[in-house]
Amino acid sequence: MISEQIRVRFAPSPTGFLHVGGLRTALYNYLFARQNHGVFILRIEDTDRSRYVEGAVENLINTLQWVGLDYDEGPIKGGAYGPYVQSERLEIYRKYAKQLVDEGKAYYCFCTSDRLEQMRTELEQKGEFAKYDRFCLKLSPSEIEQKLKSNLPYVIRMKVPDNTTIKFYDLIRKDVEISSELIDDQVLLKSDGYPTYHLANVVDDHLMKVTHVIRGEEWLPSVPKHILLYQYFNWEVPVLAHLPLLLNPDKSKLSKRQGDVAVEDYRAKGYLREGLINFIALLGWNPGDEREIFTLEELIKEFSLERVGKSGAVFNIDKLNWINLQHIHRKTEKEMLPILKEILSRSKYKDLFFSDDYLEKVIHAMRERINYFAGILEKSPYFFEPPKEYDSVYIAKHWKAETPDWLGKLIEEFSKLNNPKKEDFENALNRTAEALGLGRGKIIHAVRLAVSGMGEGPGLYDILDILGKEEVIKRIQQAIKNIKL
RNA sequence: GGCGCUAUCGUCUAAGGGUUUAGGACACCGCCCUCUCAAGGCGGUAAUACGGGUUCGAAUCCCGUUAGCGCUACCA
């Protein structure tokens, strides 16, 4: 087709939160659409009523918005080919399922789940492929009519031809072929009137004029069913691209238990959307040269399905942390301020007040020492509350019997300061050390311990500057009182 | 079990038969910087799963084995 507009879709089922694997699928679809000036569709696949989760759709849209993947057509926003929620398209699926029945390409099945289960166990015991035995295909037209009339629950199954090999081309997998003998007479319309994925996705992709189907590898084995359906309807098959899976560190399919899998989790920890997107993009794709840090705009320019790999990729949190830090490097304190505030508002410090100016200084001091913003609370709680305890290893190393006396002298010097800045603290400390005939280090470490309770963190004078004279003196006095050798 | 997909450093990956003593990044280790911890700079360890072919030549092509994963639902 000449200059056909590219249309792709991200079609999640609303069963909870957006999974990082889902984000990757959404991202690749988005990049491909934007790069080709195409359309990015969001379609909600909620055809399993038993798995419906309240608020999941809103959450999904919200999360997509947060990472910056805006869709062109979809729920709320609408579009020319809606509705974009499958539960609102039931009549459409019913119509097409009926059409296949009328044309002899599908048939009613009245088998109970008990019978199906029994049939399967028997076949499995014999070591055979547990395929539907086509019991209901043998029903006569009058039998079918009678059963329908008596309101027996039924499903519609597709009739899969025998002895055919289904071949197809996948942009990523290349040529794949599967024998039809291994394909079950798949249920298309369930007894509750909802379609299964297979019917719904084929009908919708065609009706929504989707040109490229980019989705996870778990769908690869069911492609033949879809190809058959396209043939039955006499529709053109979209271009297929099946993405490799995302894996846990132990190479099993990425799941809860082995870390966070919801995009929400990363947002809550204070990862930058730029960092997450950049990292996710590199799981299965690379630009072909040695660049690694990309913005969304750069990804749109560089991305190509041809450079997507075939093998599964482990979600490696260390690499995410590093990439996120690279994006932190590129931001100003002011830009990052809202993220820290958001995290504080959900922390145990939520009722305390900190000025923007104060928080920006904290960000400045900590930005090289964190990988995500919750790290500021984890690594430097002393910016939000006085130390409750003091690191014992650091005490052993840097707190001498004479330390309280030295710090007493230091407090005297600090007290004389008027609205001190970083350099003033530094000069005062130097004077004290000199007067006591000590190396500065002896005092510096003790003061760090006194004000922060820890043995690591930003430069001491930065900490003092941020905390301010009054607080510093108070904390040193507290430490002298509390630290016992 | 059957079918399918996949297989380069621990991890993400480059190398599309000869330019490869297999390159980069994260992680790890060492050194430098330094008031601590980071960041940064410099350096190092580390891989073509195995076995057969094809070819003058294979990480690259073919076959087999093995392993991992996926699918095998009135779930998506």
CB A314 within 8 A of CB A249: yes
Distance A438 CA to B19 C1' (A): 62
Residues 318-377 in A having a C-beta less than 7 A from any atom of strand B are: 318-319, 321-322, 325-326, 329, 368-369
Q: What are phi and psi of A19, to 5 degrees?
A: -80, 150
Catalytic residue from among A98, A253, A256, A301: A256
Contact present, A373 and A269 (Cβ < 8 Å) = yes
Q: How far is the CA of A187 from the C1' of B15 (A)?
A: 46
Q: Would you say the C-beta of A386 is within 7 Å of strand B?
A: no
The CATH number given to A91-196 is 3.90.800.10
Contact flag, residue A247 CB and nucleic strand B, below 7 A: yes
CATH code, residues A386-482: 1.10.10.350
Evaluate if residue A1 carries a pLDDT over 70.
Answer: no
Q: Please answer whether residues A447 and A410 qualify as being in contact, where contact means their C-beta atoms are separated by less than 8 angstroms.
A: yes
Residue A218: CB less than 7 A from any atom in strand B: yes
Q: Are A341 and A360 in contact (CB under 8 A)?
A: no
Please tell me the distance from the alpha carbon of residue A291 to that of residue A306, in angstroms, as a whole number: 17
For residue A217 the two structure tokens come to 């590898």
Strand B close to A278 by CB, under 7 A: no
State the fold for domain A1-75+244-327.
Rossmann fold (3.40.50)
Confidence of residue A246 (pLDDT cuts 50, 70, 90): very high
- Residue A408, pLDDT above cutoff 80: yes
Q: Where along chain A do its domains lie?
A: 1-75+244-327, 91-196, 331-381, 386-482
Rounded to whole angstroms, the distance from the CA of residue A436 to the C1' of nucleotide B25 is 50
- Residues written for chain A: 485
Span A448-485, pLDDT tens digits: 999 999 999 999 999 999 999 999 999 999 999 998 87
Per-residue pLDDT band for A3 (boundaries 50, 70, 90) equals low
Give the span between the Cα atoms of A255 and A11, in whole angstroms: 20
A316 CB below 7 A from strand B atoms: yes
The answer for residues whose C-beta is within 8 angstroms of residue A396's C-beta and 6 or more apart is none
pLDDT of residue A32: 98
What was the pLDDT predicted at A180?
77
Which nucleotide in the DNA or RNA is closest to residue A369, CA to C1'?
Answer: B38
Per-residue model confidence as pLDDT tens digits over A182-207: 889 999 999 999 999 999 999 999 99
| Whether residue A256 lies in the annotated active site | yes
Q: How far is the CA of A220 from the C1' of B8 (A)?
A: 25
pLDDT digits (tens, 9 = 90+) for A288-322: 999 999 999 999 999 999 999 999 999 999 999 99
Say whether the CB atom of A184 is under 7 angstroms from strand B: yes
Spatial separation of the C-alpha atoms in residues A124 and A289, rounded to whole Å: 50
Average of per-residue pLDDT values in chain A:
94
Q: CA–CA separation, A392 vs A383, rounded Å?
A: 20
Q: Which of residues 95-114 of A touch strand B (CB under 7 A)?
A: 111-113
Alpha-carbon distances, residue A50 vs A15, A89, A109 (angstroms): 10, 18, 22
Measured CA to C1', what is the nucleotide nearest A196?
B74
Angle at A328 between CA A266 and CA A272, to 5 degrees: 25
Question: Crossing angle of helices A403-415/A440-452, nearest 10°?
Answer: 80
Q: C-alpha distances in angstroms, A91 versus A95, A189, A193, A203, A399? A: 6, 11, 9, 12, 77
A461 CB neighbours strand B below 7 A = yes
Question: Could you tell me the distance in Å between the CA of residue A304 and the C1' of nucleotide B35?
Answer: 49
Adjacent-strand bridge partners of A159: none
The closest nt to A182, taking CA to C1', is B3
Q: Tell which residue, A321, A303, A404, A46, has the closest CA to residue A197.
A: A46
Nucleotides of B under 7 A from a protein CB: 1-8, 10-16, 23-27, 35-40, 68-76
Same fold, A1-75+244-327 and A386-482: no
Q: Is the CB of A455 under 7 A from strand B?
A: yes
Amino acid A148 CA to nucleotide B6 C1' distance, rounded Å = 46
Q: Which nucleotide has its C1' atom closest to residue A154's CA? A: B74
Give φ, ψ of A366 to 5 degrees.
Answer: -100, -10
Mean pLDDT of A386-407: 94
Exposed, middle or buried, A76 (CB in 10 Å: 0-12/13-18/19+)? exposed
